[in-house]
Structure 1
Amino acid sequence: MKKSIRTMGQRMNNIRIKKKLIISFILVVFVPVLIVGIFLTVAFRQNVLDQATQQITNNVERIKKQTLDIIRMPIEISDKLLVDSRLTNVVNTQYSSTFDVVKAFWDYRDFKDYIQLYSEIYNIRFYTTNMTILDNWEFLKVTDPIAETDWYKSAMERDGIHWEYIKDETKNNRRYLSLIRKITFPTYRTSGVLVIGVNQDELNAMISQEPFDTMIIDDNGYMIAAKNPEWVGKNISELDFASKLTNKAAGTYEFKYDGKPSKIVIEDLQPESSFNRLKIVSVFTIDSIVSGANRISLLGLGIILLSLVIAFVMIYIFSAIISKRMLVLNKDLNKVAMGDLNVISHVTGNDEIGILSKQFNNMVVSIRGLMDEVAESHKQQAQLQLRQKEIKLKMMASQINPHFLFNALESIRMKAHIKGETEISSIVRMLGKMIRRNLEIGARKIALKDELEMVRCYLEIQKFRYGNDRLTFRLDIDANGQEIEIPPLIIQPLIENAVVHGLENVAEGGFVWLKTEVSDHMLRVEVSDNGVGISDAKINEINESLHDMEEEEEYRIGLRNVHQRLVMIYGDGYGLTLTSELGAGTRITFEIPIGGHSLA
């Protein structure tokens, strides 16, 4: 075997490329495409048939569901009447006069109401053995002809529902699909038969929309609805393919219909609480489905053959043009694909292959240059981003709004002018301490206790400005976190925001609460006030501004700087969280890792 393969390979090596391409075309293209074309043609025809069969099956399932929807209402009505005490009284009362019967009928109008309310119901009647009752087309006395009918005997022999296509003597003996059910009255030891006729128009309207011959058949073989209106009321035995349906279970079968190969889909329909069933049957001829597919298949085969002939001619003409230079160039391309960018193609010439070889060499040189440029660009970009982060950190650390200092000094000056109280010296000392601390702050971190001292000084100054009635504050400081190092000016702007904006319109009773807590190597800081609060829309607007480096609204600069510094120093997972309720105040919180490092 190996020797034969080796011999065949040697022979192929001695054949010119033009002949190799022609042989390859025949073996690799012509024969496989022809086989595939024939296979696809057959498969396409079968697929069309399968799709049509599936579509018919789906249609039958849809008809089954719609039919069940239609007959569901008669079943529900029969269930209600089965336990209806008023019906029991009407049927079992022994009437002494015609007036009593008429009055009882007048009081009991449920049958009429059901017929008016539900379009699925065509007629309701009840057969009783109570001889004192009057026939009024709703309540009928059981006569000998009625008692001898198969449907009445079947109903009286067993409990439950069964369906038959029977005559309705109240409607000129016209046949309807009817629910037939025995109703027993244990108290009176009597029984009767309830018959509910299904609206024939509902069934016909449903079946008439089907594309193929479709019918619904009862247990006795009567077609209660059909695509062909002439079939309605006939027995299936009258059709030429009736013998094919004998004892057929649900499924899809092939047979001849009007002398043509056809398929029939049968589906059983078992209504709820029923001891017999209906059948849905749909019939279609195979030719009506696949005739179009056959035409398309023949056209497809013709196009495939024509294409193969043209391709064969083109291969024969251009095979002589293909040469070894193409193989060499292909090898060079494969080296580049494997990552070797030092390849140089030595294929020469001024034809297309030669030009492609030159362009290939130029491309390799360009790729090497671009890779060097990209590497250098990435290096410079990384340095630039690092520098930009450092500049942003320094800029944001210097953007603390000093307006409150000037307002505080003006308040001190006015109060000193009016009074001469000793508390002014304390306020001036605190203000000086804050100014001195602000001037000393750089890029390094500071202890939490130093930041809290600035916060306390700020709150004392603001309390002095606004008065005790308007502003009070509370500092709940975790003693375990006093020495934790944090970025400077990261809590004071939050306090300033609470005082300036949260209590701006509060005339008295303003309260600011600062709480720090150390837990699980995390420092949690919470600043809250009982001010005017912020609406949900404004909260969303502020949250968007926290990420905006170009925000121009000054009153948000402090919050934005703090948020962006936290993100730049500790990462995207750390920043400010705002919650607020109109009229109930605002709360700002953040968490930072103890001993965390800058991400810059």
Structure 2
Amino acid sequence: MDKMKVFNFNNIGLRQKLLIIYIFAVFIPITLTHIVFYQVTSNNVRTQKMNDISLTVKKMSNDFLIAIEDAVGISSMLYTDYELYNFLETKYESTTDYIHAYHDYYDNISKEVPLYSPVHSINLYTNNETVIYAGGIKQIDTLVKDSEWYKDSELVRNSYPVLTRRIGESGKLDTFSLIRELDNYVTIDSTQKILEIKLDLRLMYNLFNDVTFPGDIYLLNGQGMIEYTTNPKVNWAEGNIKYPSVKLPDDHVVFEESFNLKYLNNWKVVGVAQEHVLLEEVESSRNFILYLALINLIFPSLFIIYITSSLHFRILRILKHMRKVEDQHFELIEGARHGDEIGELTQAFNRMASKIKKLINEVYIADIQKKNLELQRKQAQLSALQSQINPHFLFNVLETIRMRSILKKEDETAKIIHNIASMLRKSFIWGKDWVKVEEEIYLIKCFLEIQYYRFDDKMQYHIDVDPDAYNCLIPNMSLIPFVENASIHGIEPIKGKGMINISIKSNRDHLICEITDTGQGMDKEEYERLLQSLEEAEDIGEHVGIKNVYCRLKLHYEDNFEFSITSTKGAGTTISIILPCIR
């Protein structure tokens, strides 16, 4: 059992080593530093932003409280004003008496109202039937008693002021008023008196629409109802809307300021902002940190890449020339000489290559030249021997016999001799690798006519070739060995007659060649042995012709052809070849 390989840093390539050094010494430390710096900066910015927004909400709450306290101060002043009570309690005998009393007292109050910016106007409600209901004096009639502000403040307005909303000139609940029962001086015959301090219509807008707050402000009463909001999607002036029913953003952050005064018991100012809006400054700082990190990474990375590429290129160049030495190519490494270790290694390689090349030239090339001379001498002897047996002598003899057969009227014999001469001439000429289908068919016809002459009508044949296929090129003598096998090994051994069919079809880019015989065929064992020999590249005796053709097809077409053999014992054999059509 092999031992487990122990990790060794020396087995890692130079480029990988430099990359590891860069990752652990530069990339990871810089990345971690910037991540920590970003986290700390983000937390600091977020905390500061949250504090600023909290102060904004607190300021709006204080401003609201100051405005309400101003109105409460006016109500307290009027609540203890005996002259006001006397003005509203007096039973006036005539209209003139009331008008004098109105001008003597109420005009002074009207002059003081503009001194308080939150206050829009003051209304006095009474059920004294001797007063004139005009100029801020209003009657407590059935309509007033049925109003929402009257009912809402009925239980507590005799104890302390009540801040409520009432229907304004727009017909909506958009007017804020401070309601207080005037019951400080009560007698047996006292009438009911109610003070209404109507706040400025723009007060809430001026208080809560702070441009520095990045969200929506809600003013909630003690029951959690929305009294006012800057959210344009909430129509607060239509009626009572519960704050929990408002759909808030998923990433919302809430800021609250509560009031614990009697007249603002559990009222709240609630600020709702989206966290991503709060962190816009954090994101801007993140971009700055990201750009800084990229700068810190890009420039060192480019510098390290430049250095490593130089080292890697020079080392690869040495390795490339050393591999050439294995193939006996002793090329020197060109370029400027450098003083570092790689430069010294390059110079040492050049000296070594020069010495080896010189040694080979002095020893081995001389020996090779000697052997080449000996080989040329033997080749000359072989050529001289071959020239003694000239194939043209055979062709001339066959041509002489053919001519004598023609003179003696033996036309069939002359034709066979002509076919034999054609086949011999073709078999002696191997310098031509490619032939037209037309030439191959001509040679096949010569062979089949000779066989027909030998066996008379025992062997018949039929050739069918598409006209477009005649000019296609195929490897020389790539079909005739199969025709020969069909004749010699297929038809000859049988007792009866046999038929050989040759079909060549042209299908655009392919030639489809089929050679079928009705001979004895092959049994399963012989058929499988033939197919196996084709794949194992081994010669198998009598089928050497098939193997030779298959190897040449592989050589010319590689895997761009199809070759198949089907054979049945006693029925015959079919050879199918599909080749690329080369015109």
Where on the TM-score scale, by shorter chain, does this alignment land: which range? 0.3 to 0.5
**Greater gyration radius:** 2
TM-score by length of 1: 0.41
TM-score by length of 2: 0.42
